[in-house]
């Protein structure tokens, strides 16, 4: 019997949707919903958000999934609420209470001073309720079986941490940090430093790399656009999301790049010429004559622009 051919998505534009993830949804829930809105399968997300968190969740559409490695390292910004005096096993409001503080809570000055110790490069131990794997098994699966294992600390960087309000037992924080930072763990560690315990009771991501909250829309908006067949018009162009200088390729240059060839930097025309002198390692977005993103190029020491990623055009 003949085997079925692999199902291919219908062709169409590439780019990104910036979803304002609702509370209670997993990141995979958002991806599944977007597949229904667009009627395609090739969609991925950048940076998991916990179900209790809301805010910026960028989705890569079609060939834009190839660009995710170029966008994953950007700064993340969160606003959150920490409840002092109560610790939980998940470090957030979903978990079982493990400790309640009976004494007075620390005052505002003490909390501010404690927050300052988390500034800069620090080591953070991932929580047991996380997708980090131990011997190939996600930690949250071990935690659900009642197991707790030793976890290796990871280096993260907190670029900025501010207390936005102080209304005990809750405080508000805003954090700018590197990818891989667990704000839940930050809340727990703050509680340990203060001696009263704490957990994260609310979290909203306002920035994920180049993607901002004012670019985001809730799922119901995108669902309505999908039904009206206007959703693809709302995609954030891939070259805009990347933020690299752009060059416009001629037809001959586009054919060469599409086949894996390189390009002399002196022949590149576009924003590349208007900025500071390019240095080896600099990257740019190469646009086909149609205006679509064709490739990401990198400048080599020999002043040649080499393709790092070539995309299929719609």
Residues acting as catalytic residues: 50
CA 43 to chain centre: 14
Q: Please name which of 100, 104, 67, 68 lies closest in space to residue 85, comparing C-alpha atoms.
A: 100
Rounded Cα–Cα distance for residues 246 and 91 (Å): 44
DSSP assignments along 155-204, one per residue: EEEEEEEEEEEEETTEEEEEEEE-TT--HHHHHHHHHHHHTS-EEEEEEE
- Alpha-carbon distances of 281 from 53, 69, 234, rounded to whole Å: 36, 16, 32
- Alpha-carbon distances of 49 from 29, 68, 179, 240, 251, rounded to whole Å: 11, 16, 12, 23, 41
The CA-to-CA distance between both ends of the chain, in Å, stands at: 33
């Amino acid at each position: 019997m003949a085997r079925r051919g692999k199902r291919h998505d219908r062709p169409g534009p590439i780019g990104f949707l910036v979803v304002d993830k609702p509370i209670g949804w997993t990141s995979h829930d958002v991806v599944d919903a977007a597949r229904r809105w667009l009627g395609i399968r090739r969609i991925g997300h950048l940076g998991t958000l916990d179900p209790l968190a809301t805010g910026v969740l960028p989705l890569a559409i079609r060939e834009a999934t190839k660009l995710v490695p170029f966008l994953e390292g950007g700064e993340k910004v969160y606003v959150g609420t920490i409840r002092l005096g109560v610790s939980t096993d998940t470090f957030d409001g979903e978990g079982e209470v493990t400790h309640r503080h009976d004494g007075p809570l620390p005052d505002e000055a003490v909390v501010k001073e404690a927050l300052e110790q988390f500034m800069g490069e620090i080591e953070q131990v991932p929580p047991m309720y996380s997708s980090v794997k131990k011997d190939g098994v996600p930690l949250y699966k071990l935690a659900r079986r009642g197991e707790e294992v030793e976890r290796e600390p990871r280096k993260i960087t907190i670029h900025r941490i501010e207390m936005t309000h102080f209304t005990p037992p809750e405080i508000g924080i805003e954090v700018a940090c590197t990818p891989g930072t667990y704000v839940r763990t930050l809340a727990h560690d703050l509680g340990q430093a203060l001696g009263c315990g704490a957990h994260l009771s609310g979290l909203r991501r306002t920035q994920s790399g180049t993607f901002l909250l004012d670019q985001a829309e809730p799922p119901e908006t995108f669902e309505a656009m999908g039904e009206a067949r206007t959703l693809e018009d709302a995609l954030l162009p891939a070259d805009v999301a990347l933020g690299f200088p752009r060059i416009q390729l001629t037809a001959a240059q586009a054919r060469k790049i599409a086949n894996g060839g390189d390009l002399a930097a002196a022949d590149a025309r576009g924003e590349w010429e208007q900025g500071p002198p390019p240095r080896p390692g600099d990257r740019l977005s190469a646009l086909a004559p149609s205006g679509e993103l064709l490739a990401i190029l990198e400048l080599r020491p020999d002043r040649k622009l080499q393709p790092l990623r070539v995309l299929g055009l719609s």
